[in-house]
Each structure stands twice: as C-alpha cells, then as structure tokens.
A and B are shown apart, each in its own frame.
Chain A
Amino acid sequence: MDEIVVENLSKTFAGGVTAVDGLSFSVARGEVFGLLGPNGAGKSTTVRILATLTQPTGGRASVASHDVAADPARVRSRLGYIAQASGVDRWATGHENLTLQAQLQRVSPALVGARVRALLDRVSLSEAAPRLVNTYSGGMKRRLDIAMGLVHEPSVLFLDEPTTGLDPETRRALWDDLARLRAERGLTVLLTTHYLEEADQLCDRIAIVDRGRVVATGTPSDLKTGIGGDIVTLELAAAQPYAAATLRALDGVTEVNGEGAKLTLRVADGAHMLPVAISALAQSGISVRTASASRPSLDDVYLHHTGHRFDSTDVAHRAAR
C-alpha cells in the first residue's frame, strides 16, 4: 500500500502563477522519496499541499490513505512536517518548543515529559534545552526542528529542503541522523532538495521535478543507468592495438574510444564491467595499469530529461511561497 499518493496535482495561485502543474508520484511505506529540482520547480508547494497547509486547485493527494483535501485533520495527526523555514519559536527555550509541540500533537500528557527528554537527548540538545532558541546555531535549530517533527511518532515525515543554509559538516551530520532515524523507525520520508548529492545519498527513489511536473522517476542509479550507462577508463601498461577490438567484442560494451594506452568505454554497468574487461585483456596477454568506473551524475540525468543544466535553471517560475 502506498503511503503517499499524488495524482495529477495542480496549484495555481490567485495571482495566476502556476507552481504545480499536473504532478504525479507515489511513495511506498518505509521509502525515502526525494523531489529533486531547482528553486521554483514546485517542490515546496507540493509538500505544503500534502501537509494540508494549502489547497490544490486540481488533482488529488492522499497521505496514509487519507485525502488531504477531504480529511485534513486525520492527515495532520499522521504527519511530521519540517519546513524549509525553521518553525521554532526563537523566544522560547528548546524544551518549551518541544513540549508545546508534543501537547499540540496530542501526545498523552503522561508521556510528554519522557518523550521530550528522550528526543532532546536523541538530537544532542539536552544541554541546550533550557536556553532560548535565539542563542542556537543553525544546525542546532535544525535538529530541534527535526525533533519537533518526530515528537508524536508520525508515520510520514515531510522534510522541505532540510539542509539548505547549513554548512557542509552539519549537513553531513544531518544526513547520518536521517539515515539512522529511518533505520530505527521505518518512517516514510518525503524530502525535497535542490542538492543533487543529497538526493543521491539519502533517497531510495527520486522524482525529478521541472516547472511543476515530474519529468522522471526512479532510483538514483536507475535514472543514471537509464541515460546510457557508465564510463570505464583503462590505462594499459603499454599501447596495444588489439586491446580495443578485444573490448569491443565484450557483451555490454557499447563504445570504445581512445588512443595509445588510454581507453574509454561506455558500458551499461561500470561496476560489473570493470573486472570483466580487465580479465578479458589479461587473457589476451594485455596488462592494465589503472582502471576506474564512473557513473553519469544526476546532473547528466537532469540535463537529459529537461534539456537544461540543473544549475542554470531559470528561477522566474518561482511561486509566491
């Protein structure tokens, strides 16, 4: 059963800006699913519709089998929402923030104290808990945000640009945290990001979003494989005229380029092909000095499906929120 189902979703704002334009995808229970796209692609609006914060103007969406438009109250009790803008109250302490969130999420009063303490400990904020959030660093605020999204043990977690504005070190720590959480709790996670690396690292599957539509969906590696395979680079001990022909004869090699001792192969699956190519050359008495396989990047995937480079995407499409 899919935990999140989005069908042909659209959102046009009062000013006439269309942020989401017939977007569809579904996320299985326990899956980490990423919406990847540049700013203004409609990711945040999609998540805001799923979190019942704004209404779609077309299509439908359901979370944990409840329709977001027809039954927002049920959806709210099942989801944890961690917004792009940190939602913590700066003029309250970390402990007060988390306690209020637990209370409003209707955590049983008998459990609130223990739950709050455990979560603060879990995100390493126990010591900072009695301090005003205004004194926290960006990373600390983000960790508090995450604790607040988890305090009612939701079945679905929405993370909107979770690491935007964080330094690389904090970002990596957050990735580790998310991976651990997911392993511990079997949460279904929907995250949006405009970092290719983040989508690659964290997500089981991703949907590439461009101008309010999904242009491709799949696992990161499927998407990369889908656009024409990997690159294997071989450096031979000495130039050998028969080497290229030997490699071309192998199953799965689509192209061999290069001159002299250095050869570049386009193959379906680099990890599989690397040892096969080396042993085939060895059988013909050719020794290999260095060998490496590399994959197309998500940037290549993005270019393939949208016709433009990820970084250069026009942000004029950006919606009001």
Chain B
Amino acid sequence: MKEKINLDMPEVQPREQRLGTIIAWDGDIDELHRQSDFIGRAGCDRNAACKLCELRGPFSQGSVCSEQMVECQAGNVRDAVLIQHAPIGCGAGQVPYNSIYRNGLAMRGHKVENIRIINTNLSEDDVVFGAADKLRMAIDDAWTRYKPKAIFIATSCATGIIGEDVDSIAREKQEELNIPVIPMACEGFRSKHWSTGFDATQHGILRQIVNNHPHKQEDLVNVINLWGSDVFTPMLANLNLRVNYVIDLASVDDLARMSEAAATVGFCYTLSSYLAAALEEHFGVPEVKAPMPYGFAGTDAWLRELARITHREELAEKYIKAEHARVHPRIAELKKKLKGVKGYVATGSAYSHGLIQVLRELEVKVNGSLVFHHDPVYDSGDEQEDSLGHLLKHYGNVENFHVSNRQQYQLYAFLQKVHPDFMLIRHNGLAPLASRLGIPAAPLGDEHIAIGYQGIINLGETILDILARKKYHDSIKKHVTLPYTDWWLKQEDAYILAR
C-alpha cells in the first residue's frame, strides 16, 4: 500500500509516523514478518490496535541521533557547507565524519580535503534570546570562507525546543546568496530512530536541489549509498549504464541531476527508501523495486529489474551468467574453509537482511541477529522491497532475531544464547563488547563490501581475516571485567525489564 510523500512540508515526517518503525522487539524472523504485514503497513504508532508492538523497557544506553546522519550525508557533499545550528557538543561529530569523508574521497579518487561543517556554538544567552543573527552570520561566514554551491543547515535539540525559525532565515539567505540554503529538521529528540536523519537530508535535497526540468539521460542510474568503495561503476558498466552516486561524496550538481536518471537503485532500503520513492513519485525516475543485491538470488533479481527498467535485459543475462561462472569456484573454496563456522549480524535493519543472505550463501550458520530498528514497510510500499520476506523465503528463518537500538547490555544476553564464532557489525560501538567476550568482530566501514557476486567472496575473505585474529580476542577475554551486575549477567531474557 502506497502513501504519498509530501514534499510541501518543510520538515520530513519521522519514520515511526511514515513507516511504523520500532526499536525494540524480540522473536524470530518468521514472526516479525507476520506481524509487520508489509502490505497492510502494521506499526506501533500508526494504529490504535497495535499489531507490531515495541518491547521498550525503563533502562537504555546511549544511541545515535538523526543529526549524526545529517552530518554524514549533507556534511559529505563535496561543494556544499553544513551549518550545525547547535551548541559545540553537537560539533563533536565532525571529527569521525571528517575521517570518513577524507577516507571516502581517497577511495573514490577525489581530492582529499577536510569536511566543511560550521558550528554556531550556541550559548545560554542564545537559548534564552534566540540566535537568528548568529545563524545569519554563520551563513555569511560559510559563503565568505568557501563560496559553496549549497548551504545545509542542521537544527539541534536546543534550537528545536526554543522554536528557532530556521526556515525563514534560510529562505531569506537563499534569495540573498542565490544558492540553495536548505534547513533540515533533525533534532535528536524528534524521532526515536536516527534513520529519520537520512530522510531529513533527502527531504531537503528533494525540495531545494533536485532539478525540476531535467533532460533525461537514458543510461544514468542514481545509486543511493554512503562513502563505500566504487563497486557499482564497473558492475553497471556491463549493462552500459553510468552511475550517479548520491548523497555522500556527490557534488551539488550530481544531486541536482538525480531527476535526469533512468532509474534509482540502493544497496539498503533503510537508507534509500525515502529518496528513491520520492524521486519516482515527484520526478518520474523509476525506483528499482527488487530484493537488495546480496547473494545470488537477490543480485540476480536486482540486476534483472534494473535491466527491465533500462531495457538492457540481454546484457544483464550475459553478465549474470558470466559472473556466476566466475565466482562459483572461489565460493566453493570459501565454503570449505568456513565449514562449521557460526556468525552473528548486528547492523541496521535492511542491511542485516542482506548480510545474512550472503552468509547463508557461504553456508555460514546464522542463528541470531540484532538490528538497530525495524521498518515494517518501506516508503514505496511495494512488496518487491520486502527485504525481510525475501530473506525468509529464500534463506529461511533466523531463530533469535532482536530489534535493539545499540543496547550493549542486551547484546550480552543475546550472545550468551547463540555463541557465535564471529560478528559482523555496522556502526561501531558494539564491536568492543564482542571482543571482550572473545568474539572477533568486523565493523563493516565500507558498506559495499558484501554487494553483488563479488561481495559473497569479499565477505567470506573478511571472515577468514577476522577469525585469524582470534588469539587477540582470547587474550582480551582473559583480562576483562564487564560493567554489569551479577544479577544482570545471569538474566537469560534481555527484555525482562520491559515485559
């Protein structure tokens, strides 16, 4: 069931309202899929009679906020500047995101430079009297220092609560400077899950940067991704298609020309859901609605759907056949080496579905996974995007499936139940606990590592690499004390306080 994306509102609608997103749940994939009711759009906040209910307890550990996702997307646009209208603490994120940005620029062959984020360093007076002039000044400084092609403005908890009128200042400055000045409502408190920050950035770009009068390019494909290595250019070249990577590491012009593309693809519906659906609905760029490109079944279906939309079926079949033949021998070797190994996946929602598929292609046993949140449906509402359903149908159930928004204390209990040999992690913070329990973990910094046919090989090799470091983890395990009480460490049910 499709619901219209509203680009007239200055603020994006949070995920829990649009999609019924939850951040705490306990069970297995079979049950989660049933309760999610992809077509019926179940959700905790949507209906009076809750069909998919959260198990939220009284205690929680620090998570991530939407503004951080804005930093890592809008902050990574090459010729733009991001202003954080916020106290300096929000600016603390600039350091890791600069590191990611520089790394990404190097991987994609761009000139390596620093991230351009300006913080307005709000003080107590600003919170009492408002800081409109400070924001105006920051915009002027951004212009003087960098002459950017666009200026993004991220709001903060402080500006959100005091009701700072960022929208009208942005409008005023946009007219004055004649470049897009884009406010993004990404206060940490606005959404229970940080993936709303992806949507906030995408919403702003859709409203103010994407070209409304495009000249269509029949061989251009928008690839919605982060800062990962360039695996799509060579892959899509086999279909005579060119890649337009968005949003990270893109230029403002790249963002504007999204409307010129023949199709939009993603590698993770958590990230691409909003932008891809809105590009189709408001700019007529078809979204490739298919399982995500992980494992043979997913990649085959994804390529075929892209080929169908761009009329390149023959090229796709040729490529699929050649790739199957190329990767099969190495995958067979990896399967032998990984025989009997058990893995655990702790990542964002849709990404976990993809990784489990790849692990099962490698015949690695997966009997547990943690996802930071769960979207019962994606924005397009198209069943072809039911990534959880695809995993269940082609690769079977995962018995211990938990929605837990980076809650270390719960992860301990999960791991006691499944005893994996290694863990795959996205968003670090969970890796140290795994290490302390003697479990080697690979934080997947390059999100493209497991994509497509080559991704199956890449992931297999990564696992062998991390298993090789087992001794280090064993020595840590011997010397570590966990910061939890004996009472908690004995609990088998990680959600006991929530029931």
Q: Do A and B come from one complex?
A: no
